[in-house]
Amino acid sequence: MNRLKEINKYGQSIWLDYIRRQMLENGELKRWIEEDGIRGVTSNPSIFEKAIQGNDDYDGILASLLAGEPHLGVEEIFERLAVSDIRQAADILRPVYDRTEGSDGYVSMEVSPHLAHDREKTIARVRHLWGSIDRPNLMIKVPATREGVSAFEELTAAGININVTLMFSLAHYDAVADAYIAGLERCPDPTRVASVASFFVSRVDTAVDRELEAIGTPEALALRGKAAISNAKLAYRRFREIFYGAPFVELRNRGAHVQRVLWGSTGTKNPAYPDTYYVRELIGPDTVNTVPPATLAAFRDHGKAAPTLDQGLEEAIDVQHRLAALGIVLYPITETLQDEGVQAFADSYDKLLATLDEKCRRLMQGNHSVNR
């Protein structure tokens, strides 16, 4: 059996962390769904920027837009491109959504990261995108900042599917899970709402490993590459306590979906670690792993699917104790990671707009040259 499809046997869905117009039009996404068992797609400004900059997929539609509406702003142009791509991807994944009765088959699009600390503008923007894209298998990404979590609760109550991103700590997780439950309790039909809690992984190791290497003792160096998996397994334990315990009983009886944990940032950043590390160690029920193409190819080639997420919980707790004994406490590190993540996404968004603006200028100059 395909190694990626085998992961599905253990209750985990693999979503592709990548989107490009060509893969929607040439059947590549459909093949990934059929052959590899891909059950969703996520996008972000960096992914769109690379897709627009690196090829001519968008030149035709951009030229048409600029010819018909030459005074469109660059943000409006990006929205037109993104909405078109997201709709097309959602339509390709719709059979997965229907087959799984709304548990899978989602496409995620990110709200502007510049709104991360503005509750009201986030709500307004999400409502706008939800109406513009008009697909039941859309998820809109909202960051797990204090303002974002508050917006998430309100949007859940309104029946909008949200992918809550940039979660790094148990405190982030608890706040998001509480908001989901509170939002569903106010939702007229909670059976129609789906959400994932995107818990970032590899960035935690990058930050903690830096501190361990600065300490430099054998005890410290032995803990490299362990903090992120430990952190994730403890978050999954909280998921089980909340969604299979008393807090969710009433909503479960009303037919509501649990808020699955989504493992984000699962491409291996440290070449010393196996290229499938953050996939193979976090396989378990009610989870999603959103995987970039290189990691997808690596797991297809030599990955090993096994139910690893429920294993090694005592070791995960021990890792936290050993880190603390060295003076490394995850909470302040994870707060910094969230702040840096918001800024990085905002920077990527600005770079995307600059890239798009430059391409539009080139296309317009080319059109003027042809017209002369």
Q: Which of 9, 30, 141, 351 is catalytic?
A: 141
Alpha carbon dihedral 71, 75, 80, 86, in 10-degree steps, equals: 170
> Could you please report the per-residue DSSP string of 225-247?
TTHHHHHHHHHHHHHHHHHTSGG
Mind listing the pLDDT tens digit of every residue in the chain (372 residues)? Answer: 799 999 999 999 999 999 999 999 999 999 999 999 999 999 988 888 888 886 788 888 898 999 888 889 999 999 999 999 999 999 999 999 999 999 999 999 999 999 999 999 999 999 999 999 999 999 999 999 999 999 999 999 999 999 999 999 999 999 999 999 999 999 999 999 999 999 999 999 999 999 999 999 999 999 999 999 999 999 999 999 999 999 999 999 999 999 999 999 999 999 999 999 999 999 999 999 999 999 999 999 999 999 999 999 999 999 999 999 999 999 999 999 999 999 999 999 999 999 999 999 988 886 544 342
What are the residue ranges spanned by the domains of the chain?
A: 3-200+256-309+348-365
Closest CA to 292 of 36, 42, 37, 1: 42
Q: Crossing angle, helix 170-186 and helix 227-243, to 10 degrees?
A: 30
Sign of CA dihedral 288, 290, 295, 297: positive
In contact, 109 and 140? CB cutoff 8 Å: yes
DSSP state of 1: -
CB 263 within 8 A of CB 289: yes
Catalytic residue status for 233: no
Please, are residues 115 and 121 in contact by the beta-carbon 8 Å criterion? yes
Cα separation of 244 and 163, whole Å? 20
- Are the C-beta atoms of 92 and 24 separated by less than 8 Å? yes
CB 263 within 8 A of CB 290: yes
Instruction: Report whether 270 contacts 225 (CB < 8 A).
Output: yes
Provide the CATH topology of domain 3-200+256-309+348-365: TIM Barrel (3.20.20)
The whole-angstrom separation of Cα 267 and Cα 248 is 32
CB-count exposure of residue 152 (10 Å: 0-12, 13-18, 19+):
buried
Q: Can you tell me whether residue 322 is helix, strand or coil?
A: helix
**CA pair distance 300, 14, nearest whole angstrom:** 12
Give the CA radius of gyration of the chain. 21
Spatial CB neighbours of 41, under 8 Å, sequence gap ≥ 6:
15, 16, 18, 19, 29, 89, 93, 106, 107, 108
On whether the pTM is more than 0.75, the answer is: yes
